[in-house]
Structure formats: C-alpha cells, structure tokens
Amino acid sequence: MRTIQFREAICEAMSEEMRRDESIYLMGEEVAEYNGAYKASKGMLDEFGPKRVIDTPIAELGFAGIAIGSTMTGNRPIVEYMTFNFSLVGIDQIINNAAKIRQMSGGQFKCPIVFRGPTASAGQLAATHSQAFESWFANTPGLKVIVPSNPYDAKGLLKSAIRDDDPVIFMESEQMYGDKGEVPEGEYTIPIGVAEIKREGTDVTIVSFGKIIKEAYIAAEELEKEGISCEIIDLRTVRPMDHDAILTSVKKTNRLVILEEAWPFGNVATEITYQVQSQIFDYLDAPIIKINTADTPAPYSPVLLEEWLPNSKDVIKAVKKVLYK
C-alpha cells in the first residue's frame, strides 16, 4: 500500500465520492480558491468547478442552513468548518434541523449531510479554539459522530459518512493533517459504528479515539517493557458506539482505562463507564479510570497547556493503578 497524509486521505474520499455522485458538493470557508484551510480540498475546485466546491463567507449559521435545506431537494452536501469551535455559531441548524428533519417530516425527508473539520486542541490556540465537542453532538439523537485517528480510517469512514442518509459529524484534528499512513489504492469503506482493536493485550483495556490515542500507544510501549500487556481499542465512531467491542475486551482483561481529550464532566468516557459497570460489573477487578483534560478552559501558556492535556504518563499511572502496582 502507498503512504499518504491524513489531509490527502480526506481529499481522496471527498473527490472519489463526488465523481461517483453528482449530487454531492463541498462548501465552507476557503475550501475552493485556497484549496482548504488545511489543504484537505487541494485541487478539488479545478476538478469540480465553483458550483460544487463553494467558498462561503464567515457565516457558519448561514451556510449550514443552506446546506441542510439543499438535502431536502436531493443534494448531499459536505460542510467544512475551519474548526468545530466555529460550529457553535451554526449549531442551531445542526441540532434543531439536521438532526430532526427525518422525524419531524414523518420520514418524508432525509438529511444526508456531513459536517467535517478539526476538533479539540492544536497547540497554543487558547480557550475558544481548543474545545472538544464530540460528547455534545453525540448526545443528540439523529446525529452520528465519527472521530478517526489515522489516514486509513479517515478515508474509509468519510466515504461511508458521505453515503449515509443521515447527518454525520466527522471530526478531524489540525495536528493530524500531516500524519502519514498506509492507504490502499483501490475502493474501500469502513462501516460506521465499528471499533477496532489496534493493539492486542491481556492485562488492561485502554479505550480512546482521535489524536489523543497516540498517547495510549506510547504508554503501551513503555508498559510492555515492564511486562504489562495493554489492549487498545480505537472507538473510531463515538455514536453509534461499539459497546460489544469494549465489553468483550474488558471481559478478557478485567480492567478498563479510558483516554479522552475532553472536559471530565459528562463526556464520552462517562457513557462508556456506565455501560461497562451496568452490563459486566462482575468482570471488573478494579474501578474504571477515565483520563481527561483539566476541568478548565484550555490555557494559552505552553507550560499550563502541557499540564492541562492528558499524556502517556497519565495513562501509565492509570494502568498501574488498576493493576494495583
């Protein structure tokens, strides 16, 4: 397989689907003339033209509404937010229209739309540009939420998201666009709602998703040197969540650590914790530990930001705690 960047995987997925289906179009800030704020739509304006690759004003509420309305006339839009922090300006359209059109129309209308862009922190971007809203969107019936961690998963899941007949929130990371990974030349998709075991292990299950999962990999390598075997599950899709994959793993390891870049109150890790303790409590040999950011807005200071973010040392400490070491 060839090796390509995360941004190239995103571009390939969109381009391949737009060649396959003329009802698909891309719109957002700087997606056309500038080739995308992160170059994830490079060359698409040249190939598909300005009617299908559309630059918008800085008006997230407006172009979200236009895109959602267009689904009701047979289109399948992809909306790019420069960051999901800016989606808050358009969240009324996402929550009150996209997520509810199918139900409120009595099934007469579907809403095949993808909202995509980066989530969470990306260095010193301060409090208002460093937020993770996966749990916000996943809390809403009618939305599917995908957070890939590598180019292969990103391409396969984005193609599935574009083909889905319901609204999908597809969350990337500014710090992953340059990441490289193996991606096949040929056609493939990855089903929405299926997690993947990225590393087999026997002593403890670590569940994570998105870019922060890299810290779990680093921790697992270090722990292996001490004879501790970690199983790492990449959720890939937050909603619908693959509960079976998590439960099966915890039944084997009897211990669970959850790593998520999000504020600690009412997040994805909270939901996983509830599902595990309510369904397989007797399999647990230790309390579940969830690792999150500090319960404050993200700081600008690099020293404070390092303390605020979860890291591999936090994972190692948590693993040893559930193993009573």
| Global confidence as pTM | 0.97
- pLDDT tens track for 34-82: 999 999 999 999 999 999 999 999 999 999 999 999 999 999 999 999 9
What's the pLDDT tens digit per position in 143-188? Answer: 999 999 999 999 999 999 999 999 999 999 999 999 999 999 999 9
pLDDT tens, residue by residue, 97-131 = 999 999 999 999 999 999 999 999 999 999 999 99
Catalytic one of 12, 17, 29, 60: 60
Catalytic residue among 8, 12, 29, 129: 129
Please tell me the CATH code under which domain 2-183 is placed: 3.40.50.970
CATH code linked to domain 196-323 = 3.40.50.920
Domains 2-183 and 196-323 share a fold: yes
Q: Is 129 a catalytic residue?
A: yes
**Residue 33: active-site member:** no
What string of H, E and C letters represents the secondary structure of the chain?
CEEEEHHHHHHHHHHHHHHHCCCEEEEECCCCCCCCCCCCCCCHHHHHCCCCEEECCCCHHHHHHHHHHHHCCCCEEEEECCCCCHHHHHHHHHHHHHCCHHHHCCCCCCCCCEEEEECCCCCCCCHHHCCCCHHHHHCCCCCEEECCCCHHHHHHHHHHHHHCCCCEEEEECCCCCCCEEEECCCCCCCCCCCCEEEECCCCEEEEECHHHHHHHHHHHHHHHCCCCCEEEEECCEEECCCHHHHHHHHHHHCCEEEECCCCCCCCHHHHHHHHHHHHHHHHCCCCCEEECCCCCCCCCCHHHHHHHCCCHHHHHHHHHHHCCC
Question: Would you list the domain boundaries of the chain?
Answer: 2-183, 196-323
- Asked if the model's pLDDT at residue 1 lies above 90, the reply is no
